[in-house]
Amino acid sequence: MTSIQRITGLASGMDIDSIVEKMMTAAKQPLVKLQQQKQILEWQEEDYRTLNQKYFDFRSTLSNMKLTSKYRARTTASSNENYVTATAANNAALGSATIQSVTQLATAATKISGSGSETATTISKSGAKIKADASLYSQTGNFLNGITWNNGVVVSQSFSGDGDATASVKLSNPPVSTTTDGITYYAMNVKVNGKTYQVVNDKSNIPDNEKGNYAVYNAESGVLTFDSAVSSGSSINVEYVAGAVTETKTLAQGTAMMQLGHGLIATDAGGDQAFSLKINNTNYVLENDKLYAESDTGKSSPIGTLDASTGLITFTDSSVLSGESNTVSVTYSSKYATMSLGSYNEDGSINKATFYIDGTDSLNTVMADVNNHSTLGIGMYYDANADRVSLTRKSTGDLNKDGDEIIIGGSGNDFLNQTLQFNGSKESGGENAKFTMNGLETERTSNTFAINGVTYTLKSKFDTPVTVTVSNDTDTIFKNIKDFVDQYNSLIDAVQSKLNEDRYSDYAPLTDDQRKEMTDTQQDQWDKKARSGLLRNDMTLKSSLSNMRSLIYSKVNNANISSEYNQLSSIGITTTSDWLKGGKLEINEDKLKAAIQNDPDSVELLFRATGNTTSEKGIVQRLYDSVNNTYNTIVDKAGKSTYVNTQFTIGKNINDLTDKISDMNDKLGKLEDRYYAQFTAMEQAIQKYNSQYTYLSSFFSNS
């Protein structure tokens, strides 16, 4: 409203505010009606959307009831579950099968350390048993055959794919390499979302039939490039062995210690300096765990020490870090060993994995790496009592007809062959299950296998026939149909209650002024009646109920359905006699279960049959189309939560009323200002009259 100067009753003594308020009350009646109309539309919108959520939920139920799994539940029974158990998929054929005998169960291939010698050999020296949770490097001398260590640092880096057609990542250190048949390979494990890639030095070395399985490392740039696209957000993990790593840190004056990132430092490298230190511009060398300036030829003044087992540098000469900020660069190597394992798959393919063992790793760490490898499929276990290690294929069966299932290479596998005593170890197990089924001798790689939709599990060897019977799971199918009927009835009940809801036309939506005069309880009671019956006898809803009743009770004229079960009433589902309840459904449990048992195919098609005409379609197919049309009609009328008002009819009407209310408020503001202006003019006139009267009266009083 416009702000104007108002004089309210000072001269006249009248309650101008009260007078204007009463005058405005009458003028506001058209505005009140607009506000009430808007409120009614908002309530209708809420009621429509609440009901439409039920239509949406029922439509989802109908979508599920189109699936064959709702009508083809199967149950199995074994004549001897101590020998054979079974489960059946929904598509399993009804009937029975007999397993006459099982002569051999499937077993997993196993290799035991030391089994290649005539007497069992332990991995530890006598009197120096290893500890599975201690670092391997610290126990090198406790192993019977020791451990062959190489100089190098095991580095792990992780990247995220950026979606480029040719993805590439930059490694922080150059990896060590080997050359075989003129091809350079790198000591590197590369995985993208768990898929393993081999790494070569030249794209031309990638076999034509292996495209998409390789990456190329450029030694000059340090960049690893994949030969196929890596999708955005992919997890790229690179583990490799670097000959040495360099760490650079800035240390404050007087710093006493510096911890290197690796906890084990190699102090020799076959005659080459394996450790170097540079502080600011001065080089330092390591000798007998002590650090000397390179210029200190006599090695008379050590500036600190290195604990090679922990990677901790301790500075004993504070003068070397005399500046406020000191740049310290350390280049060093560590100790590592390698281990390679392979395994066969049923299709003849081979899984291969190379493990890089850091000197700080324990045997438990190595075993966890093997056990957690996603594709290798080998379990590794150390028994402290026997002091031996086992390797077991996680899949059972004879997966390699020509040899072992578990592959332990020779060259470069000293840790497995020598340290863990697997050289020449003999493999046991790795056998197929052998049995006779329905008179046919056959075998499987696993004791659990599927035939014609039935999954069998062999529990033991036996020669007494066991019969497995597959039948309809009547109870489950009955429950699925009952749940559908319950959902249908819930929708019918909700819609019918709105259609029958009483309308109290004398209870218009409350104005703000009216609410001020009521308690909260009175307001709630009034609102309940004011918004009651807003969808009473709604034509969209009435048409929906009438259509659903017609569709659900009509016969399904489909040639694939027995005439004995071509409508709901024939399988025990009928409408209630009380039509005021909207034609809800009732189930005769015995009759429905009998129909499911006697003719499951017809029962299924009664619900989900397809066809060119409505008459040919099953009940669910018909209802889905009807419910979907009603849902869309209500959306057009009342929208949904993601819509703006301009997208649906009621919303547009609300916007129109909002505009009218805004215009009306502007007009009322101007009217109120005019009233106050008129009263202000009156007050000013009275004030002027009073002043003149007082002035004239003074002349008479003086005489």
Distance of alpha carbon 691 from its chain centroid, rounded?
A: 85
Predicted local confidence at residue 361, as pLDDT:
94
Predicted local confidence at residue 202, as pLDDT:
79
Task: Return the structure tokens found at 311.
Answer: 């990677």
**Mean pLDDT, residues 569-573:** 94
pLDDT at 249 over 70: yes
Predicted local confidence at residue 272, as pLDDT:
45
Least confident of 99-103, 137-141, 216-220, 618-622: 216-220
**Each residue of 353-408: pLDDT tens digit?**
889 999 999 999 999 999 999 889 999 999 999 999 999 999 999 999 889 999 99
Cβ neighbours of 126 (radius 10 Å): 7
- Integer-rounded Cα Rg, in Å, for the chain is 44
Q: In the predicted model, what is the mean pLDDT of the chain?
A: 88
**Each residue of 199-230: pLDDT tens digit?**
888 777 666 656 667 788 888 888 888 877 78
Predicted local confidence at residue 484, as pLDDT:
96
Specify the higher pLDDT residue, 577 or 130.
130
**Each residue of 579-626: pLDDT tens digit?**
555 678 999 999 999 999 999 999 999 999 999 999 999 999 999 999
Predicted local confidence at residue 314, as pLDDT:
95
* Beta-sheet strand order (sheet of 290-293): 245-252, 325-332, 275-279, 282-287, 290-293, 304-307, 312-315, 257-259
Predicted local confidence at residue 118, as pLDDT:
61
For the chain, what percent of residues have pLDDT higher than 90?
61
Predicted local confidence at residue 269, as pLDDT:
52
pLDDT at 456 over 90: yes
pLDDT at 418 over 60: yes
Least confident of 44-53, 119-128, 250-259: 119-128
Predicted local confidence at residue 206, as pLDDT:
66
**Mean pLDDT, residues 262-267:** 87
User: If you search the block for the tokens 């340090």, which residue do you land on?
Assistant: 222
**Each residue of 164-204: pLDDT tens digit?**
656 678 888 888 888 777 777 788 888 888 788 878 887 77
Q: Please tell me which of 22-31, 334-343, 680-689 the model is most confident about, judged by mean pLDDT.
A: 334-343
Query: 96 and 469 in contact (C-beta within 8 Å)?
Result: yes
pLDDT at 554 over 80: yes
Query: 284 and 292 in contact (C-beta within 8 Å)?
Result: yes
With bands split at pLDDT 50, 70 and 90, how would you rate the model's confidence at 1? very low
Task: Return the structure tokens found at 654.
Answer: 């609300």
273: number of CA atoms within 13 Å, CB side? 12
Predicted local confidence at residue 342, as pLDDT:
92
pLDDT at 152 over 70: yes
Predicted local confidence at residue 536, as pLDDT:
93
Predicted local confidence at residue 701, as pLDDT:
63
- 339-to-49, 236, 357 alpha-carbon distances in Å: 64, 22, 8
With bands split at pLDDT 50, 70 and 90, how would you rate the model's confidence at 13? low
